[in-house]
């Protein structure tokens, strides 16, 4: 239609052809009018179509609203359904797990049941075996009960026999000691015991054993010549030799019979000899522990306890204690604070051969065993002790603890007077080894001098010389009664296990051998 309305370019009128041009315009108007009608019809149709579409749109909108509401409801229902589904799924999972667990438990129970069934069968078999074993054991028990009765009867008989044999052995040992004591008294010799002390914790054992104890009466020293490397065996015999393992009690058993003599009216002297560090003070004093008590506290306790056993005998005991320090007599029962004010001790003799007495000596009556312990503590506290190169705690004096015992028999009206002298000698020292100087040097010189004088006394006694030099030192003068034949005398030689002390050990053993040969006569009872 647009092509019909457009004038043809080829048929364009000339400007001067008005009629033609009017004709063309009329034609054009007709075409436009037809076109208008056509457009009007089309417009009407389109308006109708638009109204229809609007109605349909309105209807669709209504449906859409309804569908939206339905969708919302369905979505809500779907959410609820999904929630229920999730819950059901979760519950299903839980139930599945429970079912799986239950199935496993069932399997476990089945296995346990099978095992229990097997174990029950085993237990039944074991029960049967145990019942059989029980019957067997009952039979054995009956047999053993019979055997036990027989063994108890045999053991009772053996115990009785053992007791009888022990009593016989003890009696035999007592007889042996009594006979040995009588033999020694008849011989009139000074008895000598030798004790080897054990190594101290700080000491090293010798590379080779140089001391041997073949029996209870012999000790051997193995000495090697440094040049020829020749080994020499020196053998020494004494009344008793104690090994390093001997306890304080074992040593005292051999001494106790001699201590008893003091209660029987005899003078008894027990003294310890040996070089510094050989264990003299340990043997004589020991320490406060009961098992480690030495001879002095054990002897004094024995005397006191024995004196309490006989109701018809009354005893009076008086104790004193003296030390010889640098050739000076000191009273150990006088406190050090009062020592300067106390009168000096003086050795006196009533006659040429009379007993030796000490003027101005403190004498304390003994009332109990505890009193004895107190006196011993007092003497230990007051005694001169110091450290040297040879010994950490060296006794620098000789000490003599004396207990005078007077007994009275209320039946016979008779009495006797005994004396117990317990002597702890200071140790001999080689000055080149001890390296003493000053006060220690003077102490060592006096100790060695007094021990040398003691050796001279024993030498004179051994040679049965007409003159015995008792008065050459305070120590020998003080012990004159114990060494001069009116006493039962025992020397306890103490030696060290250290090889570097071998020279002092040999000298001590030779000295003790000389002492053992000394004849001092038979002791007399004092009434």
335-359, pLDDT tens digit by residue? 878 878 889 999 988 666 667 889 9
Q: What is the Rg, in whole angstroms, of the alpha carbon atoms belonging to the chain?
A: 64
Per-residue pLDDT at 174: 63
Name the binding residues.
274-281
What are the boundaries of each domain within the chain? Answer: 80-187, 190-516
Confidence of residue 390 (pLDDT cuts 50, 70, 90): very low
DSSP assignment, residue 487? Answer: S
Tokens of 326: 């640098």
Tell me the average pLDDT of the chain. 84
CA geometry: angle at 59 spanning 54 and 63, to 5°? 145
What are the pLDDT digits (tens) for 225-244? 778 888 899 999 999 999 99
Does residue 248 sit in helix, strand or coil?
A: helix
pLDDT surpasses 60 at 387: no
**Residue tagged 């040992």 (tokens):** 173
CATH code, residues 190-516: 3.40.850.10
* DSSP symbols for 290-350: GGGB-HHHHHHHHHHHHHTS-TTEEEEEEEEEEEEETTEEEETTS-HHHHTTSPPPEEEES
* DSSP symbols for 181-196: HHHHHHHTBPEEEEEE
**Residue tagged 């059989």 (tokens):** 132
Mean predicted confidence (pLDDT) in 82-87 = 91
Q: How many helices (H) and strands (E) does the chain have?
A: 12, 16
Name the binding residues for ATP.
274-281
Helix (H) or strand (E) holding 492: strand 488-495
Per-residue pLDDT at 184: 58
**Residue tagged 């030498």 (tokens):** 459
User: Could you give the CA distance from residue 214 to residue 479 in angstroms, rounded to a whole number?
Assistant: 34
**Residue tagged 């103490």 (tokens):** 494
């Amino acid at each position: 239609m647009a092509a019909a309305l457009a004038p043809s370019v080829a048929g364009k009128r000339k400007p001067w052809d008005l009629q033609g041009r009017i004709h063309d315009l009329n034609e054009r108007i007709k075409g436009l009018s037809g076109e208008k009608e056509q457009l009007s019809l089309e417009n009407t149709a389109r308006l109708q179509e638009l109204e229809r579409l609007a109605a349909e749109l309105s209807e669709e909108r209504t449906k859409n609203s309804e569908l939206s509401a339905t969708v919302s409801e369905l979505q809500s229902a779907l959410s609820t359904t999904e929630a229920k589904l999730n819950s059901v799924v979760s519950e299903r999972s839980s139930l599945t797990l429970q079912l799986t667990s239950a199935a496993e438990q069932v399997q476990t129970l089945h296995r346990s049941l099978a095992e229990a069934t097997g174990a029950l069968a085993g237990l039944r078999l074991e029960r049967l075996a145990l019942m059989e074993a029980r019957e067997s054991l009952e039979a054995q028990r009956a047999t053993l009960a019979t055997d036990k009765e027989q063994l108890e009867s045999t053991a009772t008989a053996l115990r009785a026999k053992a007791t009888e044999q022990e009593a016989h052995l003890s009696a035999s040992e007592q007889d042996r000691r009594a006979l040995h004591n009588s033999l020694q008294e008849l011989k009139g010799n000074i008895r000598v015991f030798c004790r080897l002390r054990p190594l101290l914790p700080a000491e090293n054992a010798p590379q080779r054993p140089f001391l041997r104890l073949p029996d209870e009466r012999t000790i051997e020293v193995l000495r090697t010549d440094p040049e020829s490397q020749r080994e020499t065996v020196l053998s020494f015999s004494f009344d008793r030799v104690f090994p390093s393992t001997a306890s304080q009690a074992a040593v005292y058993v051999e001494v106790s019979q001699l201590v008893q003599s003091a209660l029987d009216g005899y003078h008894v002297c027990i003294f310890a000899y040996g070089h510094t560090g050989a264990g003299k003070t340990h043997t004589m004093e020991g320490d406060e522990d009961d098992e480690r008590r030495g001879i002095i506290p054990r002897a004094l306790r024995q005397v006191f306890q024995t004196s309490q056993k006989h109701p018809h005998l009354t005893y009076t005991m008086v104790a004193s204690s003296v030390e010889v320090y640098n050739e000076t007599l000191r009273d150990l029962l006088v406190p050090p604070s009062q020592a300067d004010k106390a009168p000096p001790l003086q050795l006196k003799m009533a006659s040429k051969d009379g007993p030796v007495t000490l003027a101005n000596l403190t004498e304390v009556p003994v009332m109990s065993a505890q009193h004895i312990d107190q006196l011993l503590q007092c003497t230990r506290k007051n005694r001169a002790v110091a450290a040297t190169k040879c010994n950490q705690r060296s006794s620098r004096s000789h000490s003599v603890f004396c207990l005078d015992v007077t007994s009275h028999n209320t039946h016979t009206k008779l009495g006797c007077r005994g004396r117990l002298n317990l002597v702890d000698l200071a140790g001999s020292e080689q000055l080149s080894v001890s390296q003493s100087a000053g006060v220690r040097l003077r102490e060592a010189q006096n100790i060695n001098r007094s021990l040398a004088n003691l050796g001279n006394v024993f030498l004179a006694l051994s040679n049965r010389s007409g003159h015995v030099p008792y008065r050459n030192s305070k120590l020998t003068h003080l012990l004159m009664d114990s060494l001069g034949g009116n006493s039962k005398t025992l020397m306890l030689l103490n030696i060290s296990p250290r090889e570097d002390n071998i020279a002092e050990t040999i000298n001590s053993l030779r000295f003790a051998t000389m002492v053992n040969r000394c004849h001092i006569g038979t002791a007399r009872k004092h009434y």
